[in-house]
Amino acid sequence: SVKPEAEEEGDRAEATQPEMKTFDPWPVFFRREWRRNWPFLTGFAITGFLITKMTANFTEEDLKNSKFVQEHKKH
């Protein structure tokens, strides 16, 4: 009968103390890293967009006539 009383006292103690919020480091990390890396990330996004846009317009005929594609064609 001693254990239930101890558990009850522990429950009451926990209920009276405010719950401590854990620190989340991700917002701080992303804010600091964004300030440092935004030029690289922006340039990477623009370059990727342009390469995708230009290569999406290639036709089969363009690929057949391309020296680069013929030289790098897998055997």
Over residues 6-59, the pLDDT tens digits come to 555 555 555 566 788 888 888 888 888 988 999 999 999 999 999 999 988 888
DSSP result, 8-19 = HHHHHHHHHSPP
Pick 72 or 48 by higher pLDDT. 48
From CA 45, how far away is CA 48, in angstroms rounded? 5
Residue 37 three-state SS: helix
Residue 75: band (very low, low, confident or very high) from pLDDT cuts 50, 70, 90: low
From CA 2, how far away is CA 69, in angstroms rounded? 82
pTM attached to this predicted model: 0.48
11, part of any domain = no
31, part of any domain = yes
Print the domain residue range for 35: 25-75
Given a contact cutoff of 8 angstroms between Cβ atoms, the answer to whether 25 and 31 are in contact is no
3, part of any domain = no
